[in-house]
Structure 1
Amino acid sequence: MSLINVANLTFAYEGSYDNIFENVSFQIDTDWKLGFTGRNGRGKTTFLSLLLGKYEYSGTISAKVDFDYFPFSVENKENNTLDVISDIYPDYIHWKLMRELSLLKVSEDVLYRPFDSLSNGEQTKVLLAALFIKENSLLLIDEPTNHLDLNARKLVSAYLNTKSSFILVSHDRSFLDNCVDHILSINKTNIEIQKGNFSAWWENKRRQDHFELAENEKLRRDIKRLSDSSKRTGNWSHEVEKSKNGTRNSGSKLDKGYVGHKAAKMMKRSKAIEQRQQSAIAEKSKLLKNIENSDSLEISQLDYHKNELVELEHVSIQYGEKIVCADISFSIEQGERIALSGINGSGKSSIIKLICGEELDYTGTLRKDSQLTISYVSQDTSHLQGNLTDYARSNGIDESLFKSILRKLDFSRVQFEKDISAFSGGQKKKVLIAKSLSEKVHLHIWDEPLNFIDIISRMQIEELLLEYTPTILFVEHDSEFCNNIATKIIQL
């Protein structure tokens, strides 16, 4: 066992006025299976980069271990997978690699295929195997689930549960619950570490939030009382000074010198009291802290003139000679929330593209009214650029509603001034979801919308969909989200 000590860590990116971390201190045991959570943009990937020595910072990070980061950067993806592993870890021992691949249920033949011919899930598993054959390192695993289907997530979480000495960034609640024994959370005003899995941390956070809500209400009342008192104190000397120009009740003139002297004393006293009151206000204001913004969001979907929006009958889709899905039949009715489920490569995205109007080679029958309007959220965010105001205008959506949704999904007002291309992966996905929710449509179609999005925002989106029951077809590998949201599951 060894410790990583973080003391008085302060960091901001060059050219930024916003500190990501400010005088942060904590300790991590390298034997832990540490889950790392927090809102998008709070600094999870940044902290991993600091551990890897990528940036200069003030304060200290002391550790007696080396760090390895997942996902590895693979430069020559056309090489055979075995050569890719050799580039990552030249001194690997073959039987150890085969042991890890076996645990991850990856067949040996993938080693002799070009790396870029592997599915995203196979690539993830191979790189994890390469990571865990290294020894004497703390492993930094950054969002491994983004390209894993539901079954692969269960497999990889069970695999990680047999390991230790890692820091895992993930936004999948079930995944974290299955494989971590401590949680490191970046909160609104602090960083904390708790023993247990994500659900245990979340329950503790809910209790703490409930306590803080009551404390915050008391503090706000105290602050209001002090503020009102401070205003009254500030008015004392002003009223006395005004009286110099008045008269006594008997009608005789006041002694202005006496009154001025009295006013000066009152002013000095009031300033001292006001200063103490302002200090008390500032001190109490600091205590208003870790309650996350989780206001509900509002959308209004257009009504459709009939109950059934889309129907597929015996649909098969192919690319060239390859059939990606066959004999698919289902319908989408108003108010349904349908999850398309299946392993990677089973045709989920192809069915979504077909319904959205993309020209694909298919057989069978697709019934869809030409008047049906659809809002589509794709997996790809690479096209996003420019500021949010221009983005809203170019997409013909209500800017105030769009930004209001982003605010409720934890965007700061400072973020509104930045270029979208500089946002984190999770923040970009929130832009696409906020755009979709701002559009007046009959049907929402979302293809893996939650990739990179933080857990609290996922819960907010769940609450929204349950409250306003829009008609939606979605592909998502977060099992908690699917279980909570779907009214119907189509298994491919």
Structure 2
Amino acid sequence: MSLINVTNLTFAYDGSYDNIFEDVNFQIDTDWKLGFTGRNGRGKTTFLNLLLGKYEYSGHISANVSFEYFPFQVNNRQDQTLDIINTIVPDYQHWELMRELTLLKVSEDVLYRPFESLSNGEQTKVLLAALFLKENSFLLIDEPTNHLDMNARKLVSEYLNTKSGYILVSHDRSFLDHCVDHILSINKTNIEIQKGNFSDWWENKQRQDHYELAENEKLRKDIKRLSDAAKRTSNWSHEVEKTKNGTRNSGSKVDKGYIGHKSAKMMKRSKSIEQRQESAIDERSKLLKNIESAEDLKITQLAYHKNQLAALEHVSIHYGEKVVCQDVSFMIEQGERIALSGKNGSGKSSIIKLLCGEHIDYTGTFRKGSQLQISYVSQDTSHLYGNLKDYAKINGIDESLFKAILRKLDFARVQFEKDISSFSGGQKKKVLIAKSLSEKVHLHIWDEPLNFIDVISRMQIEELLLEHAPTLLFVEHDRKFCDNVATKIIEL
């Protein structure tokens, strides 16, 4: 066991007015299985890069271990997979590699195929196997679940659970629950570490949020009561002070000394109440700092003139002689939220293309409503560039609604001035989702929409879909999201 000590860490990117981290202090045990969570853009990948020594910073990071980052950069993807592994880990025993591949249920023959011919899941598993061949290193594992199907995610989480000594960045709640024993969370104003898995951390966070909200309400009432009392006491003091220059009802002179003493006493009481009020305000300002915005997102979906929007009956899709799916039958009706599930390569994306109007070779019967308006969210974000104002105009959506949705998904206003191409992966996916939710359509089709999107935003999107019940067909490997959102699951 050794420790990684972070002391007074402060960092900002060149040209930025805001610090990503400011006087951050915490300690990590290198035997921990540490889940790393936080909103998109809060600095998770930045912190990993600081550990790797890629940026200059003020403060101290001390560690008696070396760091290894996943995913590895693979430049020559046409090379044999075994050659790729040899480049990443020059010194290892073949039996060690086979041990890791066996745990990940990867057959030996993939080692003798070009790396680019492997599926996304196979590539991820092979690179993870190479990662755990590196001895005496603390591992920085950055979002390994992207493009893994549900079965592969379960397998990889079980694999990671047999290991220790890593920081794992993931936004998949079920995945984190299966393979971490501590949570490192970047909050609005601090970084904290808690023992337990993600569900334990989330339960504690909700408990703390509810406590702060209750205390905030109590203090709000207390401040109002003290403010009213201070005003009354101040008014009384002024009224008493006025009588110093007057006379009593009997016509005798007033006792100015007595009245002055009484007025001063009341003024002192007024000042005391003001001080208590200021103290209460100061106490209140310490609350709510880490409560995440979870306001409702408002969307409007067009109503279609028929209940049934589309239907597939015994549809088989093929590319040349290769059949990607067979005998698929289901219908999409208004108000349904359909999860299209299945292993990678089972034809999910092909069915989406068929529904979206792309030319696909198929047999069977496919019907789609005439003049059906569809909003599509793709996996690809590489086409995004320009500012958000122009993007909204080009896509014919309401700019105010579009930006309001992004604000509620934790976009800082300063992001609105930046080029979309500079956004993080999660922020780009939020742009696509906000665009889709701003479009007036009959049907939303989302292909792996949550890749790179932070956990809290996922839960907000869940709440939105449950509240407004738009008609939706989606492919998503986040088990918790599917369980919570889908009204029907089509298994391919």
Query: TM-score w.r.t. structure 2 length?
Result: 0.90
- What amino acid maps onto 1:155 in structure 2? L
Q: How does 1:426-445 map to 2 (within 5 A)?
A: 426-445=426-445
Partner of 1:482: 482
1:311 shift after superposition: 0.7
Q: Percent identity?
A: 83
Q: Within the alignment, does 1:390 sit opposite 2:395 as a pair?
A: no
Whole-angstrom distance in 2 between the partners of 1:401 and 1:233: 47
Whole-angstrom distance in 1 between the partners of 2:276 and 2:211: 27
Q: Which moved more, 1:222-231 or 1:433-442?
A: 222-231
Partner of 2:457: 457
Partner of 2:198: 198
Q: How does 1:2-17 map to 2 (within 5 A)?
A: 2-17=2-17
1:404 shift after superposition: 1.1
Whole-angstrom distance in 1 between the partners of 2:173 and 2:17: 33
SS in structure 2 at match of 1:204: helix
**Alpha-carbon spacing, 1:425–1:222, altered in 2? closer, same or farther (3 Å):** farther
Stretches of structure 2 lacking an aligned partner (at least 5 in a row): 240-269
Partner of 2:243: none
Contact conserved, 1:233 with 1:274, CA < 8 A, in 2?
A: no
Q: Which moved more, 1:224-233 or 1:439-448?
A: 224-233
Aligned residues: 481
SS in structure 2 at match of 1:146: coil
Whole-angstrom distance in 2 between the partners of 1:127 and 1:415: 34
1:272 shift after superposition: 12
SS in structure 1 at match of 2:146: helix
**Alpha-carbon spacing, 1:227–1:69, altered in 2? closer, same or farther (3 Å):** farther
1:218 shift after superposition: 3.0
Contact conserved, 1:312 with 1:365, CA < 8 A, in 2?
A: yes
Q: Which moved more, 1:148-157 or 1:393-402?
A: 393-402
Whole-angstrom distance in 2 between the partners of 1:206 and 1:18: 28
Q: How does 1:135-146 map to 2 (within 5 A)?
A: 135-146=135-146
- What amino acid maps onto 2:410 in structure 1? D
User: Deviation string for 1:104-134 (max 9, x for gaps)?
Assistant: 0000010010000000000000000000011
Query: TM-score w.r.t. structure 1 length?
Result: 0.90
1:190 shift after superposition: 1.4
1:287 shift after superposition: 3.3
Whole-angstrom distance in 2 between the partners of 1:426 and 1:127: 23
Coordinate RMSD, CA, aligned? 3.1
Whole-angstrom distance in 2 between the partners of 1:233 and 1:144: 64
SS in structure 2 at match of 1:176: helix
Partner of 1:363: 363
Q: Within the alignment, does 1:108 sit opposite 2:108 as a pair?
A: yes
User: Deviation string for 1:331-355 (max 9, x for gaps)?
Assistant: 1011111111110011101100110
Partner of 1:375: 375
Q: How does 1:179-190 map to 2 (within 5 A)?
A: 179-190=179-190
SS in structure 2 at match of 1:432: helix
Whole-angstrom distance in 2 between the partners of 1:441 and 1:452: 25
1:464 shift after superposition: 1.1
**Alpha-carbon spacing, 1:335–1:276, altered in 2? closer, same or farther (3 Å):** closer
- What amino acid maps onto 2:15 in structure 1? G
Stretches of structure 1 lacking an aligned partner (at least 5 in a row): 240-269
Whole-angstrom distance in 2 between the partners of 1:225 and 1:425: 48
Partner of 1:257: none
Contact conserved, 2:9 with 2:57, CA < 8 A, in 1?
A: yes
SS in structure 2 at match of 1:144: coil
**Alpha-carbon spacing, 1:233–1:487, altered in 2? closer, same or farther (3 Å):** same
Q: Which moved more, 1:337-346 or 1:186-195?
A: 186-195
User: Deviation string for 1:278-322 (max 9, x for gaps)?
Assistant: 687456423331111111212121111111100112222222332
Q: Within the alignment, does 1:59 sit opposite 2:64 as a pair?
A: no
Partner of 2:174: 174
Partner of 1:317: 317
Contact conserved, 2:226 with 2:273, CA < 8 A, in 1?
A: no
Partner of 2:21: 21
